[in-house]
Amino acid sequence: MGMGKIARKFAEDLRLLPNARLHAVASASQERANKFAEEFGVPHAYGSYESMMDCRDLDVVYVATPHSLHFTCTMLCLSNKLPVLCEKPFALNAHEAHKMIEAAGHHGVFLMEALWTFFIPGVQRALEYVGAGGIGHLHTVKADFGFKLPLDRDSRLFNKTLGGGALLDIGIYPVLLALRLLGKPDPAHIQAVATFTETDVDDTTIFTFQYPDKKIALGHATVAAHTPVEAWLLGTEGSVRLHPRWHHTQILTLTRYEGKEIVEQLEHYPYQGWGYWMEAIHVQECLRDGLQESPIVPWQFTLSLAETLDAIREKIGYT
């Protein structure tokens, strides 16, 4: 559902999987659906999201509409007992996220937020290495995601009604890294500042999370300037650098401080395509095993993420 930029990349990546088939596409416009279906050899093209519910032989729906439509599209599928892989951010707020998860539970249907970062081999290696004590005790998680975009009132990124702004679009990545490594921060220990566009969405948001044991997360998201798009995991005995773009990195630098000596090791984790096919394989496995939620992106994680994004928005005054 949704024939935008990410749907195209996802469709291209599905071609890498021998046992995946794009069976139907749905767009708000029949013309766009037809065009997409023709390009990707899809047998069924629907001119509305609702009409795709008539397609009886679907295994799972990938929701790739703007944030503001994730709730409606996902609820539509779930009420028709169709499993869903829903793009990030899962919903506009935690209230919607709760309702979606409740509906999946109620209908007994699989539902997962498309957090593809957790299926990227380089990211998985970094998380495992830190978890195994490779950098001693983790102290700081630092990540940025930024690029310069001229203000475009036609783009969903600058459109408040569609849930535009840097935080929900790309700031979600530094937030999810902090949550995965350090846990959900207490809202009282979240600090955040932002600047806003003429269209009243955040073009820059910077946040810190402080944890009781003095651990810290720092995140920076912006569509007003190019940033390195790197992540650093800093510990008492070493560090991990996730090279750009860190959220789907193919290169890591592992550094260990051994007395006065600094030992650096470069590791490569190449993959084919855009990197979305790995989350697609995971969804296939979950469905095959009859799961309702993913063990890698469980519902509780999605809820914590949505609640943390809400808390940051409250600090910066983005309602």
Ligand X SMILES: NC(=O)c1ccc[n+]([C@@H]2O[C@H](COP(=O)([O-])OP(=O)(O)OC[C@H]3O[C@@H](n4cnc5c(N)ncnc54)[C@H](OP(=O)(O)O)[C@@H]3O)[C@@H](O)[C@H]2O)c1
CB of 303 to ligand X, least distance (A): 18
Q: How far apart are CA 191 and CA 42, in angstroms?
A: 47
CB of 17 to ligand X, least distance (A): 17
x/- map, 167-196, ligand X, by CB under 6 A: --x---------------------------
* 4 vs 187 by CB, closer to ligand X: 4
21 binds ligand X, rule: CB under 6 A: no
Stretch that binds ligand X, among 66-74, 219-227, 285-293, 299-307 (CB under 6 A): 66-74
Name residues whose C-beta falls within 8 Å of residue 73's C-beta, 6 or more positions apart in sequence: 1, 2, 49, 61, 63, 65, 86
Q: How far apart are CA 259 and CA 244, in angstroms?
A: 29
65 binds ligand X, rule: CB under 6 A: yes
Taking the alpha carbons at both ends of the chain, their separation in whole angstroms is 26
Q: How far apart are CA 206 and CA 225, in angstroms?
A: 13
Enclosing H/E stretch for 51? none
2 binds ligand X, rule: CB under 6 A: yes
CB of 173 to ligand X, least distance (A): 9
Q: How far apart are CA 294 and CA 171, in angstroms?
A: 23
Q: How far is CA 78 from CA 67, 73, 95, 115, 284, in A?
A: 17, 9, 17, 19, 17
* 257 vs 274 by CB, closer to ligand X: 274
87 binds ligand X, rule: CB under 6 A: yes
Enclosing H/E stretch for 169? none
* 46 vs 209 by CB, closer to ligand X: 46
114 binds ligand X, rule: CB under 6 A: yes
4 binds ligand X, rule: CB under 6 A: yes
Tokens (6 digits) for 209 = 């999370």
Q: With contact defined as beta carbons under 8 Å apart, do 33 and 55 qualify?
A: no
Q: With contact defined as beta carbons under 8 Å apart, do 88 and 70 qualify?
A: no
Q: How far apart are CA 141 and CA 174, in angstroms?
A: 9
Cis geometry, peptide bond prior to residue 89 (ω within 30 degrees of 0): yes
205 binds ligand X, rule: CB under 6 A: no
Stretch that binds ligand X, among 1-9, 141-149, 263-271, 281-289 (CB under 6 A): 1-9
CB of 139 to ligand X, least distance (A): 28
Tokens (6 digits) for 8 = 């195209």
Residues 279-318 that bind ligand X (CB under 6 A): none
Q: Which residue is nearest to ligand X (CB)?
A: 4
CB of 271 to ligand X, least distance (A): 14
236 binds ligand X, rule: CB under 6 A: no
CB of 265 to ligand X, least distance (A): 28
Task: Give the residues lining the site for ligand X (CB under 6 A).
Answer: 2-7, 27-29, 32, 64-67, 69, 87-88, 114, 116, 156, 162, 169
